[in-house]
Every structure is written in structure tokens, then in C-alpha cells.
Amino acid sequence: MGHSNSLSLDRAGLESGSQSAKRQKLTPPTEQGENGSGSSTTTTTTTTTNGAAAAAAAASTDGNMPLRGKVFTITGGASGIGLATAKVLSRRGAAVAIADVDPEAMKGADAYFSGLGVPYSITRVDVSRRAEVDGWIGGVVERFGRLDGAANVAGVIGRSHGTASVAELDDADWDRIIAVNLTGMMYCLRAQLRKVVDGGSIVNTSSIHGLKGFANHSAYDASKHGVIGLTKAAALENGAREVRVNAVAPGAIYTPLMQKNWDLVGRPADAPFNDPSAFQRQGTAEEAANVIAFLLGPESTFVSGSVYAIDGAWV
């Protein structure tokens, strides 16, 4: 993987709703931007630049840099919501440490950040492996000198997502979903809480599936309900340090991973929209990332233990 850093604006900018976002799902949504948990070796690519020059470059493109000097980790950060979040945070001046397991997505993220001038790193990390998570978080603090917060976005859906009832659940499918979405979330949150500065902020990605149950999605639903419980407990435990711990619950958010899932199940490209969202469209990864960035930033310093639905008024 290439290396790099610098401090500059997200050249692509932040998009709002798009034509692609108006496409329809066949099954209740997952927060796409999640990544698989295949076995991996941990490798990192990082490069540092002159701080003064980087700051000058940032100031020349964006006068509002509320996160300058701060460091955030992002799991599932090479695609979808995770990548959009990394872009927003770096756009606001932060150093971003991305973890992912998808080699092609990691290459794409590296290509994006390598020319921007924002301090960043990209590391292959399987969040379901405690040693990889602990090593990654420790390495981020060693490399960047601090940890101000995190966005935990990595997750998976099962092979029988939307098709198997509880009575038909496969043990291996259940174990994998829980290992990544819930145990992996705990590994990340635990490691981050041990290193994050007082007054820091962590956002965990749950789902609309964490707020209600969907038939034939029981393993995924259970994992995402668990994320909310974990988040609320951690918020109470770390309040004395004013470390905020919140969750987001995306609904139908359109990403390449969502489209890939639709392709696998044969969803026509022109399928009409019929998700139960009052907005009558899919959300975008950027719209979800903006909420995460709000919760990580200085505008939400008295918000903790909350769950923010990002679903266009799910009905």
C-alpha cells in the first residue's frame, strides 16, 4: 500500500442525496460501509509531513478546522460510511487512522488520501481478533501521539441475511456475525477507552436493526441491539472523564457494498423504491458520516449514551 499524509480539503466534497440513493432494497437495510472479518496480517502504511506546511495548506482551503491536531481511529474505514467519515474528519483537520480488511478498498482509500496532505494511516485489521485490535490501537497512539476518539463502523451481514428464521439459523453464520459486529465492537471500544484522552468521543455503528426486530435477520438484529447496550454502559462508566460514547443507527444507506448485495440477490437496477422511509429515497454514506462527525466534534460535548437514527424517518 502507498503511504501518506497531509492536510487539505476533501476534494470530492460532501454529497447529499443522489440518484443512486433513490434505488430500492429488497430486504431491511444494514449500515453498508461495513466490512468482512476475514483472517489477516496487520500491515500499516503511513507517512508524515511537515506540520506547519500541512496546517498552512489546510488553512488555505478551509478556514474552519475544529478537529485540527486531533486523532481518530475508524474501523471499516476504507469504504462506505467508514470512508465517508474518514474524509469528513480529515477535511476538518484531524489525523485519521483507518482499519479495514478489504485490500482493494484499502488501495482505493490510500489513493484518495495520498494526495491530500492529511496525516493518515491505513492498517489491515480483523476486528474479531483481539490481538490485532490491541496492536493497532497501541500503534496509532505511538505513531500519532494521542487518541481523541473513534468511529467503529466495521461489520458484516450473514450468508442467510433476510432468508433464515431463528429456527433455521446456522451456527457458523451466527458465530461470525456476533464475532465481528458485537465482540469485535467490544474489542475496539475497550482498546480505545484505555487510550482515549479525557473529553474524547467514540461513536459505535449500530443500525435500524438495533432499534427493532426484522424477521429473518435475527443474528444481525441481535448483534446490533448488543451494540446499543454496550454503548450505553460505556457512556455511564466513562462519564467522570467526560468521554462521550454514542451510537448511530443507520437505516437504508446506499453504498457500493449495498449495491453488491443487491446484485448478488438479483435486484434489478431500476427496482422501485419501497423502503418504509418518509424521505422516499436511500440515504448516502456522506449523510451518515456527517452525523458521526457531529458526535465526534466539539458541537456535541454534552451528548453521551445516545442513539441517533439516520433513517429518513423510518415508519
Catalytic pick from 220, 254, 260, 308? Answer: 220
Q: Which of 300, 248, 255, 284 is nearest to 13 (CA)?
A: 284
Q: Which of 165, 181, 259 is nearest to 220 (CA)?
A: 181
Q: What are phi and psi of 150, to 5 degrees?
A: -160, 150
One-letter amino acid at 251 equals: G
**Strands (E) located in the chain:** 44-47, 71-75, 95-100, 120-124, 149-152, 201-205, 244-250, 253-254, 283-284, 307-310
Distance CA 200, CA 48 (A): 23
Crossing angle, helix 184-195 and helix 218-237, to 10 degrees? 20
Indicate the pairing of strand 44-47 with strand 120-124.
antiparallel
Residue 120 appears among annotated catalytic residues: no
Residue 220 appears among annotated catalytic residues: yes
Catalytic pick from 25, 112, 224, 308? Answer: 224
Residue 201: beta bridge partners? 149, 244
Residue with cell 481523541: 148
Distance CA 254, CA 290 (A): 15
Distance CA 110, CA 95 (A): 14
| Contact between residue 3 and residue 236 where contact means Cβ atoms under 8 Å apart | no
Q: Point out the residues that are catalytic.
A: 220, 224
